[in-house]
Amino acid sequence: MGLRSGSARQLAHFLVSKPCAVRSLIVSQTKMITAYGKNGDVQKAIELFEQMPHRNQVSYNAMLSVLLDSGRLGSALQLFEEMPRKNAWSYTSMIAGLSRSGHVREARQLFDSIPPSDRNVFSWTAMISCYAQNNEPHRAVSLFSGLYRELFESKVIPNSYTLSVVLKSCGCIRSLVAVRQIHSLTLKLLDEAGEGSVFAQNALIDVYAKLDCLHDAEHVFNRMKWKDLASRNIMMDAYAHNLLLDQAFKIFNSMNERDTLSWNIMMSGLLEGRRGLEALRLFLSLLRLGHDTKPNLSTYTIILTACATHTMLEFGRQIHGHTVKNSLYPNNIFVSNSLVTMYANCGLMEDSLQVFKEMPKKDVISWNSVIHGLGKNGHAQKALEIAEKALASNNFNGNTFSAILTSCSHGGLVVDGLDYFNSMSRKYGIEPTLDHYICAVDMLGRAGMLKEAHDLLRSMPFAANSVAWSTLLNACSIHGSLNIGRVAAQELQMLETDNTKSYLGLANIYCRTETGRESRELLNLLREKGIVKELGSSWVVEI
């Protein structure tokens, strides 16, 4: 700068006499503050800012941004209050910072204090996003609709990002009417051919699909004149979620560019559509690419689930090795939980327990997975030991008790199971759901306590569904309980008139109880209705 030394007075005199030099110095120092912030040297940025002989609005905003990005909300608020002048950028940044810290009320107070001259689409969008990001979608939609007319008259027009946030909020409150209104507004305000409208159009595809309006999602997608990678991923995910896998593959195969999410969507869809082996083959194709598109932790979780579903132990072991090589095991909790389940499904509880023990951090899913695996593999007592540790360490939820009751059911531990069932609400604050009652009915039914199972089913605070009655009917079929079996079969027939389980279950009970005439009549009825042609010898006895 031409000055190597000198007093502060000389420097000040120089700057006053050289306004260009002042501006140049401010610009230079502001850039340095921003660079320090990006490099994580927040303290150096603060020291430089405090030493600046002159500051302008840009330098104040730069320092505010550094403080907010580093999570120093208190310091940012203090600086914000000290700013001699604030502009729209200052308010917007502060609202976004408060939003990230969950201070929604303070953000709204700040938004309401913005002078009309500084209120623009960015501050408006920031406040809408604040509500959306902090699980208050109703308020996000309300703020948009409440201020739309006023701001529109001030020529503050919502942009594509504003509309996309509002659309996601409409989806969260499941208001199809509001979505259609925003859709109409999008057509009115945005140029559909422009790249800038893609955010709103992608949001429309996503929200329509999540509200089960797949035709509307397709209509938006097909009309888009410019599609990005996200557009194709969102539409592909909509098809995959609805198990329209051929349509999903059509988009996948047409993509010139794919990211890891594209592959994950297809693998997840195949897995959900019970085509797990195809998902595994697709995973192998991804591995062979050998470029920047590589599996991530979601990929490994999906594939480990496929291995668990198809009990493909050797393939699962290879995936385990990949996760170690890519530093995802044992530190990544999602991958480790998937490995616990995979080994348990393959019947290797020692390996499952070893993965569980090696996890540096465990969540509720970790505990539930190992409890369920132990119970399913005949280690009911060990499952209850682990369950007690989970309950004592406050690592439990409703699914924990489902796993406990299932373990007791498979292990014949009826007394223990009833104790856990009766203590759920009283001791642990978990209200039993329909699934818990069905688990308890199954436990009693397996033990031959059919009257108790039937009484529990009838005492439920919920209407029994087909799963509940089918569970009781199966128990009656195993233990040959004709009277209760008839009741269960009748209830199941009323709920699902075309379901053959009720007929077949009742026929099996007739066979077991040697009521040959009733069995023949029922089997003839099944033949007349075309429900069965030939009856398998696995359940028909000679009559």
Give the mean pLDDT of 84-97: 95
Task: For 23, list phi and psi in degrees, rounded to 5.
Answer: -60, -40
Give the mean pLDDT of 342-368: 97
Q: What is the pLDDT of residue 10?
A: 53
Residue 36 lies in a domain: no
Among the residue ranges 204-213, 384-393, 516-525, the one predicted with the least confidence is: 516-525
Of the two residues 18 and 62, the one the predictor is more confident about is 62
Of all residues in the chain, the percent with pLDDT exceeding 70 is 87
Residue 17 has pLDDT above 90, yes or no: no
Residue 506 has pLDDT above 90, yes or no: no
Give the mean pLDDT of 76-82: 95
Q: What is the pLDDT of residue 534?
A: 43
536 is written with which tokens? 């398998």
Mean pLDDT computed over every residue of the chain:
89
Residue 377 lies in a domain: no
128 is written with which tokens? 């809408």
289: confidence class by pLDDT, cuts 50, 70, 90: confident
For residue 508, the domain's CATH number is: 1.25.40
Give the mean pLDDT of 322-351: 95
Give the mean pLDDT of 468-486: 88
Among the residue ranges 169-183, 226-240, 418-432, 482-496, the one predicted with the least confidence is: 482-496
Whole-angstrom Cα distance, residue 307 to residue 319? Answer: 9
Residue 539 has pLDDT above 50, yes or no: no
Q: Which domain holds residue 524?
A: 433-543
Residue 96 lies in a domain: no
What secondary structure does DSSP assign to 378-423, as a single string? Answer: T-HHHHHHHHHHHHHTT---HHHHHHHHHHHHHHT-HHHHHHHHHH
Q: Name every residue whose Cβ is closer than 8 Å to that of residue 464 and which is 6 or more positions away in sequence.
A: 457, 458, 491
Residue 472 lies in a domain: yes
26: confidence class by pLDDT, cuts 50, 70, 90: confident
Residue 451 lies in a domain: yes
486: confidence class by pLDDT, cuts 50, 70, 90: confident
Residue 241 has pLDDT above 50, yes or no: yes
Q: What is the pLDDT of residue 540?
A: 33
Q: What is the pLDDT of residue 9?
A: 55
Residue 16 has pLDDT above 80, yes or no: no
Whole-angstrom Cα distance, residue 360 to residue 372? Answer: 20
Pair 279, 308: CB distance under 8 Å? no
Residue 408 lies in a domain: no
Q: What is the pLDDT of residue 510?
A: 59
Q: What is the pLDDT of residue 515?
A: 53
Residue 383 lies in a domain: no
Of all residues in the chain, the percent with pLDDT exceeding 90 is 75
Cα 164-292-269 angle, rounded to 5 deg:
55
Give the mean pLDDT of 340-344: 97
Whole-angstrom Cα distance, residue 499 to residue 492? Answer: 8
Residue 430 has pLDDT above 70, yes or no: yes
Summarize pLDDT for 142-193 with one digit per residue, the tens.
999 999 998 988 899 999 999 999 999 999 999 999 999 999 999 999 876 5
493: confidence class by pLDDT, cuts 50, 70, 90: confident
Residue 134 has pLDDT above 90, yes or no: yes
pTM: 0.78
111: confidence class by pLDDT, cuts 50, 70, 90: very high
Residue 3 lies in a domain: no
Residue 523 has pLDDT above 80, yes or no: no
Rounded to the nearest angstrom, the gap between the alpha carbon of residue 278 and the centroid of all alpha carbons in its chain is 24
Q: What is the pLDDT of residue 543?
A: 23
Q: What is the pLDDT of residue 535?
A: 41
538: confidence class by pLDDT, cuts 50, 70, 90: very low
Q: What is the pLDDT of residue 25?
A: 85
- What is the total count of domains within the chain? 1
Pair 471, 489: CB distance under 8 Å? no
